Amino acid sequence: MKAVVIKEPGNISLQNVEIPEPQPGFVRIKVKAAAICATDLEVLDGNIPANYPLTPGHEWSGVVDAVGSEKDTSWIGKRVIGSSDVVCLTCDACRSGNWRYCKDFEEIGFRRNGAYAEYAIMPAYGLCELPENVSFETGALCEPLGVALGTLEKAEAKFGQTCLIIGAGSIGLCMLAAAKAMGMKDIVVCATTKGRLDIAKKLGASHVIATKETDLMEAMKSIHPYGTDVVVDCTGIEECIQMSLKLARKGGTVALAGYGRGKIMNIRIDDIHINNLRVVGAGNNWNKHKTAVTLMKDGMVNLECCVSERITLEDYAKGLEMARKRPEGFVKAIFVNE
């Protein structure tokens, strides 16, 4: 089969490799769609711990093609999405549903081969059926949508609360879709340029702010005069995090959903201390695939407008370059296997 392989940081190519066989507890997916994520670029650049050689790809959908255990036979032929978390299922963390805290946690696409390939091996326990009315392309986006749902849950965001989302990349836009679906109000999305903000408007943002043209701090004074209930930083950029802490209302919440790339940052502790802010770390997905797929099925969330480019595995270099350069209005490039 064809698979995109990172041999070592900086060295990526399309290769012919053997079709993998599922071990007990796992299934083989005929991959139908796999979205390129910014973290895949970090793996390519060697900035995130990974096991090389590696096929990246943790945002995927497909059809179950083979199973490793007889008890999973009923999955064969089903359209699915699913968790990329490989865990023990028996430790205290797993039994409380906190797979990310499992002592044996490994994520497919980082420690194990992922979905930039014709076939991929995924854990049977993480599968969710993909309804016929959700396309494979948008189904693959249940993963970042799940990240957004998990972030808002960690932030204890509530119906009717105000929300400011800093950054309009795929996580920012999924955050908006999730905030909208759960009934938050006066949702503001800001980004440096306008391209992705048009998509934010389509997804139902109440206000969009292009920070190259409009001063965010100034604009927020009239939009949320007493500060914002829940501010979500989706950038991991120092200046944005500093602003988040100033824009949350007294007693409000700041959720950090952007990757900080290991950087040490200057923040004013008094912004948190004096205003009694809750600052929550909200990286990664939290087993929200099922909720994500239900929201799509019921039409509460439609991420069609986030699929910017459909590419084949042969065109991987083009897809990665787009993900890196993020041209105006670009959100996601997605590998599509016929």
Assess 86 for contact with Zn ion (CB under 5 A): no
For residues 248 and 257, which CB has a smaller minimum distance to Zn ion in the complex?
257
Binding residue (CB under 5 A) for Zn ion from 17, 63, 91, 305: 91
For residues 41 and 91, which CB has a smaller minimum distance to Zn ion in the complex?
91
> Which span (18-26, 33-41, 247-255, 323-331) binds Zn ion, by CB under 5 A?
33-41
The partner residues of 60 in beta bridges, in order of sequence, read 34
> Which span (15-23, 84-92, 126-134, 295-303) binds Zn ion, by CB under 5 A?
84-92
The partner residues of 26 in beta bridges, in order of sequence, read 123
DSSP 327: -
Binding residue (CB under 5 A) for Zn ion from 81, 94, 115, 231: 94
Assess 173 for contact with Zn ion (CB under 5 A): no
Residue 40 CB partners (closer than 8 Å, separation 6+): 56, 57, 58, 109, 116, 320, 323
DSSP line for 27-89 = EEEEEEEEE--HHHHHHHHT-S---SSB----EEEEEEEEESSGGGGGGTT-EEEE--EE--S
For residues 37 and 282, which CB has a smaller minimum distance to Zn ion in the complex?
37
> What is the C-alpha to C-alpha distance for residues 116 and 312, in angstroms, rounded to an integer?
10
> What is the C-alpha to C-alpha distance for residues 245 and 231, in angstroms, rounded to an integer?
8
Binding residue (CB under 5 A) for Zn ion from 76, 88, 267, 274: 88
103's tokens: 């002592």
Assess 31 for contact with Zn ion (CB under 5 A): no
> Which span (100-108, 114-122, 217-225, 328-336) binds Zn ion, by CB under 5 A?
100-108
Instruction: Give the interface with Zn ion as residue ranges (CB under 5 A).
Output: 37, 87-88, 91, 94, 102
